[in-house]
Amino acid sequence: MSKTNPGNFFEDFHVGQVIEHATPRTVTEGDRAAYGSLYPTRFAVPSSAAFAASVGLELHPVEELIGFHIAFGKTVPDVSLNAIANLGYAECRFHRPVVPGDTLSTRSEVIGLKQNSNGKSGVVYVRSTATNQRGEVAIDWARWVMVHKRVSTGSTTEGTAAPETVIPELATAVDAKNLIVPEGLDFSSYDFTAAGEPHRLADYEVGEKIDHVDGVTLTTSEHQQATRLWQNTAKVHFNVEARPDGRNLVYGGHIISLARALSFNGLANAQLIAAINAGAHTSPAFAGDTVYAWSEVLDRVDTDAPGVGALRLRLVATKGRDESMTLRGEDGKYAPGVLLDLDYWALIPA
Number of residues that bind its own copies (CB under 8 A): 78
Of 216, 236, 325, 327, which lies in the binding site for its own copies, with binding defined by CB under 8 A?
216
Q: Which amino acid is at 90?
A: A
CA dist 90 and 196 (Å) reads: 31
According to DSSP, the β-strands at 137-148 and 103-115 are: unpaired
Of 12, 17, 34, 163, which lies in the binding site for its own copies, with binding defined by CB under 8 A?
34
- Minimum distance, C-beta of residue 34 to its own copies, in the bound complex (Å): 5
Decide if residue 190 touches its own copies (CB under 8 A): no
Across 207-248, where does the E strand assignment appear? Answer: 209-211, 216-217
CA dist 278 and 327 (Å) reads: 15
**Which stretches of 121-203 are DSSP H helices?**
192-195
The answer to whether the CB of 174 falls within 8 A of the CB of 345 is: yes
Q: Which helix (H) or strand (E) holds 296?
A: strand 290-302
Decide if residue 105 touches its own copies (CB under 8 A): yes
Decide if residue 136 touches its own copies (CB under 8 A): no
Nearer to its own copies, 30 or 159 (CB): 30
Of 240, 302, 328, 336, which lies in the binding site for its own copies, with binding defined by CB under 8 A?
240
Decide if residue 206 touches its own copies (CB under 8 A): no
User: Which of these ranges, 112-120, 164-172, 203-211, 302-310, lies near its own copies under the rule CB under 8 A?
Assistant: 203-211
Decide if residue 322 touches its own copies (CB under 8 A): no
- The number of CA neighbours under 13 Å toward the Cβ of 336 is 0
Decide if residue 95 touches its own copies (CB under 8 A): no
Nearer to its own copies, 268 or 278 (CB): 268
User: Which of these ranges, 151-159, 178-186, 194-202, 341-349, lies near its own copies under the rule CB under 8 A?
Assistant: 194-202
DSSP string, 64-92: HHHHHHHHHHHHIIIIITTEEEEEEEEEE
R_g (Cα) of the chain, nearest Å: 20
The answer to whether the CB of 63 falls within 8 A of the CB of 192 is: no
Decide if residue 155 touches its own copies (CB under 8 A): no
Decide if residue 286 touches its own copies (CB under 8 A): no
User: Which of these ranges, 3-11, 85-93, 159-167, 323-331, lies near its own copies under the rule CB under 8 A?
Assistant: 3-11
